[in-house]
Structure formats: C-alpha cells, structure tokens
Amino acid sequence: MFKISRREMLVGASAMALQLPAFAGQEPHKGGTLIAVVQPEPTALTTVINSSFYHGIVSTNMFDALLTYDENFSPQPGLATSWDVSPDGLTITFKLRRGVKWHDGQPFTSADVKFNFLDVLRKYNARGRINLAPVESIDTPDDFTAIMHLSKPAPALMSALNSQDAQLLPRHLYEGTDIAKNPYNLKPVGTGAFRFKEWRRGEYISMVRNPDYWDQGKPYFDEIIFRIIPDAAARSAALETGEVMYAPYDAVAISDVPRLGKLPNLAISTDGYSYQGHMLMMELNTQRPQTSHPKVRQAISFAMDRQRLTDTVWYGLGTPAKGPIIHTSRFFSSEGVPQYPYDLKKANALLDEAGFPRKENGIRFTLSSSYMPFGETQQSTAQFIKQQLKQVGIDVTVENADLPTYLRRVYTNYDFDINQGSFATFIDPDLGLFRFYSTEQIAKGVAWSNASRYSNPTMDKLIAAQKSEPDEKKRLALMHQFQKMAQTDLPMVPLMEMHHFTTYNRKLHGLRKTPDAVLQGLKDAWLAS
C-alpha cells in the first residue's frame, strides 16, 4: 500500500483538472484503421465451411447470427430481437430484426434463416451437423418470424447460435450453388458491422465500415486490416513497434508474454475465450494393456504437479484443473467429485496395487504419448508429463508429428497410450466435452471423437438424459453426477484450464469481455486519439 498526502492529492486533483481536455479523446469515436494480426491465415472468410477459431476471428466482423451473448453467456439480441422456447422445449420462435440489409443491399428475412439452418449449417458445417441435429423443420409465417421445430428438447442449442457457430450466409447468393465452392466464401457478403474489401493471400484481409449497420453508431473503425505474419517473433516485433495493434489467440510466443506485458504500450488480456472452454487434458487409451486399468489412470493423475505445470510451462496462463468442466462454468461442481492433488506416494501405491511393480531398472512400463501439434508449448507439456511420470516408474516415449499424421495415429489407428492436448469442452459441455465420454462418439477416423474408447452404459445414460432435459435444475444435477463419474473412471485426465490471451496496444479500447468476445468481431472497439 502507498499513502497519498493531502497536498499530493490536491496537486494530483488540479493536474487532473488541467488534463481534462485530453480526456475528450478517450470517448468512443469514429475513425481510424485498426491493423490486427491473424494467425494462421484463414482458408475462407466464413466459419460455415471451416469453423476453426482463426476463421471466426476475421469473419465475425462481417457476419452476424441470431444471437449474441452477455458476460454470463445468457442470450442477447443479434439478428433475432426476441425468442421464445416452448415449455416442452420442442419449439423455439425467433422474432427477427427489421430493416437489416445484406452488404449488397438485399433485405435479410426469415427465408435466410431457414435456408442457413436447414440447407447450409446442418450439411456443410462440421459442428453444425452435431449441434443442430435436433432441428427438424423451420416455419416462416412472415418475413420476420422463424419457428424452429425440434425432434427433442435441446437446451444446449441456445448456447450455439453466435456468429462463430451459426453464421448466417445470404440465401440469394448461395441457394442452388455448391456451398463449399461458392466464390462468396472468399469475398463474403454478410450483414455484419464491416464490409469485405480485399484479401491478398499471404498478406492481409481488409474490411471497411458498413454504413448501413443495424446497430446504430457502430462500428467505430473506418477500416480493419488483418495482417498475415507467419513468424511469432516477427509478430512480437510488430506489436512492439506499433505496426500491429491487436493480436488475439496466443499470437505471440507464450515465453514472450512476460516481456511484452511489461512494455508501456502493450497490454495482455485473457478475456473472451472461455466460451470454448479449452482444457489441457490427457486422454488415456482404455484399450491398452496398462492404461485400461482405472488404478493406473488414477495414478497418472496423482503424479501430475498441475501447479508447477501451470507456472513453468504455461507461464501462469492457466488454472490447475479440478475436473473436466472449467470452474467458472455454471455447470461446474466439486462437491463429492474425486480430486487428484499431486501425491507421488499415492500414485506409486496405486501402480503397485494394479500389479505393475518397479523392475530392476526402476521402470514399471513404457507408454507412448502423442500430443496435439499446436505450438511449442504442447511439446514442452509432453516433456513435462514425461518427467513427472518418470518419478513413479513410468517411462514415456513422446511421438512428434504434424497435424494430419497426429490425427491418423490417434483417431484412426488408436496408436497411443496418452493423447495430450487442448480439448474444446465448450461453455455448455453438451457442445464439446461429452463427446470424449460417450460410447456413441467412438468413431474411427473422426478427429476429436472418443479416442480413449471409454464406454460406460451408466455414463451414456447420464449424457443422454442431460441432452434433452429442459429443466435447468435437473440438468445441473445430472452434470454433477457426470463430474463424479468422469473423475472416478478418468478416461480423460484434466490438467489445466487454459487461458488464451490477446496482446494489444493500450491505445485500443472497447474490446468486449463476453466469454466469446474474441470470436464476435470488433464493432465496439476504437482507438484513442
């Protein structure tokens, strides 16, 4: 604590008064160009045909969706101004915003909504095929009403309608075309705050203010340019010199974060990512000789020093995990949920009990570990896990591979004991997390399916029950049971809730703070003059 004397306070106050005019530039105001960076470069400018985050970072500036979300992830108006879920959970009625125009001047109507949900998202969007599976039909009694009929209640659906997960494309430019090859995927026409201007592959994507945007007064920037800078060190340098002002999604090396955070012109923020609920986990192959034993899986979990992993390998950008659901989620509970604090004694005892004593060389057995090839920190994590497990007599061979090789090895050949990486559990676990625990999701050849091949009929029933439980309280109770069972059977060993980060220039203001903010465009952002 520091103290301020009365005199200092007076001096400070008068200085503040003198500075008042300078504050005039600190209000949101129109104008200016924001130079941002996106890494890697998107392959198209809509999330409909590729729903990876870097497609979302850029395209959500040009597209809207039915809903947006607030800081508690409660639905807020987007292109839908109101919505009504029937008591049986089988019908959702959306009232649409009037007077919204596509960037080419055509009006946005309920026919666009129907076309997108039935003919586009459910067919061409990898996540939409899963999230929107319960949507049976859509009625459009007038231009501004869309009534969605579901085959069964789907409470998670209302959490999957932002412009990352359910971006709306213009029907008049897409209907009757090959959606995946439609040229507008590369020069999008949306209803969003910014209009597409130019894309020079390998260099930049630019967009300009949409003067007819429905959210009056927004956006603030005249233009946003997303630059493509493939080298992490060069991105750091560009932020340092001010050439780039906004770099979301871990765009600089994590080891560079402490240094950049200390620079006077830069700030680091971890807001805007929790919607994806990225959890660092180890998926253990339940069909392998050693990891098929629940006691071995529990021992592995006890052998993990999660705090040290967070502090050293991840430079503090995470929270040690207490279960498979992130602790800020309303679905999280720890009461009666088994915990695995770092305890080598317990780990060793469990391994002995499981019938794997140490041999003469001190090693019990060898495991093969694959990790998601998403950056160097995942590799360091694999090395960290190797060291941790060595202490309890488990020797780990770490396999390196690029993404397609990794996917084949783990999800087609099941050739792994430990599959480590960042798993997207999503804000509603039904949209992400449960696929790693459900028998239905054992799907050879499908990325991010249930590769541990864990199968428990009780667990399957739990997952099925919560999926169509319209009562929130009952659903929370089911989620609680899920967490207990997940932490007992342990096909997935949660290690750390990941904190992705944005590096930005302090002149940049108005960044949203909602759980999905980074994937919701920059219409609220402005530059201090």
Which residues contact another protein (rule: CB under 8 A)?
33, 35, 40-41, 43-44, 49-52, 123, 125-127, 129-130, 180-181, 185-186, 200-204, 206, 223, 225, 227-231, 233-234, 237-238, 240-241, 243, 402-409, 411-412, 424, 432, 435, 443-449
Measured from the CB atom, is 79 or 169 closer to another protein?
169
Q: From the CB of 178, what's the least distance to another protein, in Å?
A: 9
CA separation for the pair 191, 79 (Å, rounded): 9
Measured from the CB atom, is 52 or 339 closer to another protein?
52
Measured from the CB atom, is 98 or 123 closer to another protein?
123
Phi/psi of residue 140, each to 5°? Answer: -125, 80
Residue 40, Cβ neighbours under 10 Å: how many?
9
Measured from the CB atom, is 91 or 378 closer to another protein?
378
CA separation for the pair 285, 418 (Å, rounded): 6
Q: How many CA atoms lie within 13 A of 237 on its CB side?
A: 6
Nearest partner of 519 among 174, 47, 108, 197, judged by Cα: 47
SS3 171: helix
CA separation for the pair 412, 258 (Å, rounded): 39
Tokens of 256: 């560079």
Measured from the CB atom, is 12 or 404 closer to another protein?
404
Q: From the CB of 37, what's the least distance to another protein, in Å?
A: 10
SS3 486: helix
Q: From the CB of 496, what's the least distance to another protein, in Å?
A: 19
Measured from the CB atom, is 23 or 374 closer to another protein?
374
Residue for token pair 């992490």 = 232
Measured from the CB atom, is 126 or 349 closer to another protein?
126
Count of all residues that appear for the chain in the document: 529
Measured from the CB atom, is 108 or 454 closer to another protein?
454
Measured from the CB atom, is 351 or 427 closer to another protein?
427
Q: From the CB of 407, what's the least distance to another protein, in Å?
A: 5
Q: From the CB of 179, what's the least distance to another protein, in Å?
A: 10
Tokens of 390: 């060595």
Q: From the CB of 185, what's the least distance to another protein, in Å?
A: 5
Q: From the CB of 412, what's the least distance to another protein, in Å?
A: 8
Q: Does a cis peptide bond (omega within 30 degrees of 0) precede residue 219? A: yes
CA separation for the pair 424, 256 (Å, rounded): 24
SS3 350: helix
> Is-contact 250 54, C-beta < 8 A?
no
Q: Which amino acid is present at 461?
A: K
Q: From the CB of 208, what's the least distance to another protein, in Å?
A: 11
Q: From the CB of 8, what's the least distance to another protein, in Å?
A: 37
Provide DSSP, 266-305: EEEE-TT-GGG-EEEEEEE-TTSTTTTSHHHHHHHHHT--
